[in-house]
Amino acid sequence: MSNFINFTTFKRGSPKNSFLQAPAGVSQNSHLNQESPRINESASDLSARLVALLSRMPNIRELQVDETGLRIKLVAVTPFMRFKDDVSIEIFPSPDEDNSSGTSSFAIYSASRIGRYDFGANAKRVNKWTNFLVNY
């Protein structure tokens, strides 16, 4: 895996074997599959909760967090065929200057390393993790 993705300048590869979710206005150079929700917790708390979740998942490999704690990259291994998918995540604090609202959002890009079509695996992964972050 290469360096952490900068979602503000990111240009996405094939949309058939990947899934991109981001806050409105963040990934303007790439077509979004869906917009990310706003989460009612600080960016650092959201990141810590997400890293804790990912650390407990048996199919996650090479989990890395940057020095700010707001960018994450990992390899997700599919259950049956053991395909490796690259996943990049960035947590964005609330756009207000002092983050007084205590909210945050996130961008997540999940892409298959091989093949032209992922049979919805990347979308399912992103939606599952998003559902967890919103509801738990």
Q: Where are the domains of the chain?
A: 15-135
Pairing of strands 34-35, 18-22: parallel
User: 136 vs 33, which has greater pLDDT?
Assistant: 33
pTM here is 0.91
Q: What is the mean pLDDT of residues 34-60?
A: 96
37 is written with which tokens?
């929700």
Write down the CATH superfamily of domain 15-135.
Answer: Fungal kinase associated-1 domain (3.30.310.220)
- The chain-wide mean pLDDT, for the chain, equals 92
Statement: residue 100 has pLDDT above 70: no
Which stretches of the chain are assigned E, i.e. beta strand?
18-22, 34-35, 60-65, 71-77, 84-93, 104-112
Question: Looking at residues 98-117, what average pLDDT do you find?
Answer: 86
At residue 14, does pLDDT exceed 80? Answer: no
Report pLDDT for 51.
Answer: 97
